[in-house]
Structure 1
Amino acid sequence: MKKLLLTLISVGIVVLAAALAFAYWPTHTRAIDAGPAADAALVEKGRYLAYAGDCTACHTKPGGAAFAGGLPIASPLGTIYSSNITPDAEHGIGHYTLDQFDRAVRHGIAANGSSLYPAMPFPSYARMTDDDVRALYAYFLHGDIKPSAEPNRATDIPWPLSMRWPLAIWRKLFAPVPDAVAFDDKRYTDPKIARGAYLVQGLGHCGSCHTPRGVALQEKALDEQAPGYLAGGQVIDGWFAVNLRGNTADGLGRWSEQDIVDTLKTARNAHSAIVGQPMADVAVHSTQHLSDDDLHAIAAYVKSLPATANDPSSYTADDHTAKALQAGINDSRGAEIYVDNCAACHRTDANGYTRVFPAIAGNPTVLADDPTTLVRLILGGSHLPSTQAAPSPLGMPAFGDRLSDDEVAKLATFVRGNFGNHAGAVDASAVSKVRATLPKE
């Protein structure tokens, strides 16, 4: 027994030594040529790319200075706080060289050599071109961003989980090296789709939320060459990121290119799409500022993605439930709750009102394999944000104070199994779990 214990200890020491050696082995990166001095055009290009990358969403906390960081980001290990990326020389990135900026953005390596948490989507940003990195640097260092002396806040992750060196192992295993996976637009025959792919896979980092994660919390795919890319599967801040592929039920198979453009530009479309708070923030801070050409390119690329296999939900237009409700036949508790609480806005045929109240029939959020967003909407309500093209912030009231967990489950099950919708039932225990995550007033 003693001999076995000594053997295990020896093996453990060897494994730890190997892990440390792998973690601390320097990551070679290619220095970007500084190119011409920053001018107004380069800075303005960088501003546009910052919108495309949605930098403000993570690096600006409510009520805080722009890009001064401090936004809490939940992780399985504890809370991470975004960093100050203003041009302040002490607390921000004002002292960063272009090479250091590139190592942080595309490689996940801070100026001091430590690894960044992958809450920073550097696995996606690795696809950015040198020219775009250079323009972003010009904007953040020489644009109109005011330096902020806001100090960076340490994480709330307890020791020893807070040690950074294991992040280097994660980075080397799961984050692509830019030189190896530089975006290749020649893979796409249509230049429009190639541009959309570049924005979706790179700056837009859409897969960070909409692609399933593996056991090490790595994205299972970083582009469409793997079937799980953008297939949904993550709950972000209590909202389920839906499938963006061509599935006709829980995906965007029945949406047109213009429907996707409208959602990105205005946070609503002809279907009056359900947009959760994280995606509403994307529309407000990022996609509404993109050009129509780029929005159409993004939409064209997303529309090129085929449906995933083995979709558990389905939708077939069916007016049987609508006719029953219109005739006053409420033959289940779920039907009664729907008529009493939902039909006034979403109608008894569940088709809602165009660009105002979402259709429930055939809605991808309603039909999603994970009903978290639907349950959260019923419990806590939501609102469509005000955007430049659609300034009215339409809202849905919360029903959590008047409906029990069992009633919410019955309502969610009813809308997922009627009006032509065919998706799994919702259990009261699932509702209880979502209720526990809602902000406390």
Structure 2
Amino acid sequence: MKRKSLFALSAVVVAAAALVPVLWSGGDNLHNGTAAAATPADQAALIKRGEYLARAGDCIACHTVRGGKQFAGGLPMATPFGTMYTPNITPDDQNGIGKWTSDDFYRAMHTGRSKDGSLLYPGFPFASYTKVTRADSDAIYAYLRSVAPVAVPSRPHELRFPFNNRNLLIGWRTLFFREGEYKADPTKSVEWNRGAYLVEGLGHCSMCHTSINAMGGPVNSAAFAGGLIPLQNWYAPSLTSNKEAGLGDWEVKDIADLLKTGVSQRGAVFGPMAEVVHNSLQYLSDEDIRAMSTYLKTIPQKSEAPESMQYETSEKFGDALLQQGKKVYADNCAKCHADNGLGMPPNFPPLANNQSIQMPSAVNPIRMVLNGGYPPSTATNSKPYGMPPFAQSLSNQEVAAVVTYIRMSWGNHGTPVSPQQIVDLRSAPLD
């Protein structure tokens, strides 16, 4: 989960909930044919665990509009195929999903099918959530039935033809969906398997760090190899390449610090990944964060990063940009990031020897110079240092020049940036 910074986008689109009696009835009490009546204490513990797991899945990020009622849905999610709107998942019988059972909920998580059996769009990451155990699914369900019901109707998707035909999802599922709970690797430690379960399941990290094809399906042969987040214009870097955000040479502590607080001695998170840390990862236990870090560190590394579309800049123009960028950097950046690019971590991350600066895709450093941003505010870093925006004070060529300079200085091995890339990204969405 995007510099050593990671960027990600949480995309939780459909879940389920029902009302909370102390004792569940009917099929809710039956698992493997065994009746199990919950005591109030048991139910309270189950709800608390479900709340924790819902945080791990970052459900709130997609099901709550900024300033709106929690889990009432309505968040627009732009896709190449039209706009989807996240549903109300509060336990409201008419407008939410209060009539769902725990079996209905597990079916949605595990198989990507709604209460009525209809196919769910893969904006809801059921391809990852299928790995979630029934016990964890039931805990999340118990928590969601405990939240306050909200009488806000779910808004229908606005997808173009033929993508508004759910029956076509059968083909997508045949190509890209494999149903099944996570199976532990007996050759790995308990900690490693816990991390794999969280990263590949509830965390659904591959949704952003794996590129998608024209059909909206993941390129599974390049899992975790990075990709541009569609219509967001943030690049989620490769976790499998030591030229991008490959973590093979990181200490587990640095990875854990980045996930838990948003900053570490190796870098900081911005953009969509900052939202993931703010909404989700900061609330996870130190043990679970370490487990995720342990797993992420062992993702096989490859020598080459994935191909990236990039404007080519002539050598002569690249040299001119480099010289211009040196002055722009001295005037605007050196105070925080230092003349030698080493910065003052963790508050001001280093730019020298920073993979996120040198990646074939220059999208993220361009976005940061144009729009600025902050790492997430977390319990242990409540007042993070931020980056001011320069979109209003620097021209397209000046932005291209300074990004070129930081990509090619202090031993960095990036390539020059064209002013046209700056033009393309000036109007990119800020969220």
Interval containing the TM-score (normalised by the shorter chain)? 0.7 to 0.9
- Paired position in structure 1 for 2:81: 77
Q: What's the CA shift for 1:117?
A: 1.5
Change (3 A) 1:381 1:291: same
List gaps (5 residues or longer) in structure 2. Answer: 1-29, 308-320
Distance across 2 between alignment mates of 1:120 and 1:146: 22
Deviation string 1:396-419 (CA, Å, 9 cap, x unpaired) is: 111111212222112111111111
- Paired position in structure 2 for 1:158: 160
- Paired position in structure 1 for 2:65: 61
Change (3 A) 1:79 1:32: farther
- Paired position in structure 1 for 2:225: 231
- Paired position in structure 1 for 2:169: 167
SS in 1 for 2:83: strand
List gaps (5 residues or longer) in structure 1. Answer: 1-30, 314-329
Distance across 2 between alignment mates of 1:35 and 1:58: 34
Distance across 2 between alignment mates of 1:67 and 1:428: 41
* Selected match of 2:246 from 251, 264, 284: 251
Matched-pair contact (CA < 8 Å) for 1:243–1:252? no
Deviation string 1:126-162 (CA, Å, 9 cap, x unpaired) is: 1111111111111112x2x111111111122234432
Distance across 2 between alignment mates of 1:45 and 1:219: 31
Whether 1:333 aligns to 2:328 is no
Question: Counterpart amino acid of 1:154?
Answer: P
Distance across 2 between alignment mates of 1:262 and 1:35: 43
- Paired position in structure 2 for 1:118: 122
Matched-pair contact (CA < 8 Å) for 1:276–1:373? no
SS in 1 for 2:123: coil
Q: What's the CA shift for 1:254?
A: 3.4
Matched-pair contact (CA < 8 Å) for 1:416–1:423? yes
Matched-pair contact (CA < 8 Å) for 1:188–1:194? no
Distance across 2 between alignment mates of 1:83 and 1:219: 23
Distance across 1 between alignment mates of 2:31 and 2:272: 33
SS in 2 for 1:133: helix
Q: What's the CA shift for 1:201?
A: 0.3
Matched-pair contact (CA < 8 Å) for 1:250–1:369? no
Distance across 2 between alignment mates of 1:125 and 1:57: 16
Pairs aligned (count): 383
- Paired position in structure 2 for 1:127: 131
Q: What's the CA shift for 1:290?
A: 0.6
Whether 1:219 aligns to 2:215 is no
Structure possessing the higher relative contact order (Cα contacts under 8 Å, 6 or more residues apart): 2
Distance across 1 between alignment mates of 2:326 and 2:183: 52
Question: Counterpart amino acid of 1:184?
Answer: K
Q: What's the CA shift for 1:175?
A: 1.3
- Paired position in structure 2 for 1:92: 96
Distance across 1 between alignment mates of 2:407 and 2:366: 11
Whether 1:412 aligns to 2:416 is no
Q: What's the CA shift for 1:311?
A: 3.6
* Selected match of 1:430 from 405, 413, 421: 421
- Paired position in structure 2 for 1:240: 235
Deviation string 1:51-108 (CA, Å, 9 cap, x unpaired) is: 1111111111101111111111110011111111111111112101122111212221
Give % identity.
Answer: 40
SS in 1 for 2:242: coil
Deviation string 1:230-253 (CA, Å, 9 cap, x unpaired) is: 121122522111222361554223
Whether 1:303 aligns to 2:283 is no
Matched-pair contact (CA < 8 Å) for 1:312–1:423? no
* Selected match of 2:264 from 269, 274, 277: 269
Q: TM-score, normalised by structure 1?
A: 0.82
- Paired position in structure 2 for 1:136: 140
Distance across 2 between alignment mates of 1:312 and 1:157: 30
- Paired position in structure 2 for 1:148: 150
SS in 2 for 1:383: coil
Distance across 2 between alignment mates of 1:309 and 1:250: 12
SS in 2 for 1:186: coil
Question: Counterpart amino acid of 2:131?
Answer: R
SS in 2 for 1:429: helix
Higher Cα Rg: structure 1 or 2?
A: 1
Q: TM-score, normalised by structure 2?
A: 0.84
Question: Counterpart amino acid of 2:252?
Answer: E
Q: What's the CA shift for 1:32?
A: 5.7
Question: Counterpart amino acid of 1:84?
Answer: N
Change (3 A) 1:341 1:35: farther
Deviation string 1:234-290 (CA, Å, 9 cap, x unpaired) is: 2252211122236155422332111111111111111242x1221111111111111
Change (3 A) 1:135 1:439: closer
Whether 1:196 aligns to 2:195 is yes
Instruction: Give the 5 Å matches for 1:277-288.
Output: 277-288=271-282
Q: Could you tell which deviates more after superposition, 419-428 or 50-59?
A: 419-428
Q: What's the CA shift for 1:375?
A: 0.6
- Paired position in structure 1 for 2:386: 395
Q: What's the CA shift for 1:37?
A: 4.2
SS in 1 for 2:264: coil
Q: What's the CA shift for 1:309?
A: 3.2
SS in 2 for 1:90: coil
Matched-pair contact (CA < 8 Å) for 1:108–1:122? yes
Q: What's the CA shift for 1:380?
A: 0.8
Matched-pair contact (CA < 8 Å) for 2:69–2:150? yes
Whether 1:386 aligns to 2:390 is no
- Paired position in structure 2 for 1:355: 346
Matched-pair contact (CA < 8 Å) for 2:109–2:130? yes
Distance across 2 between alignment mates of 1:284 and 1:243: 22
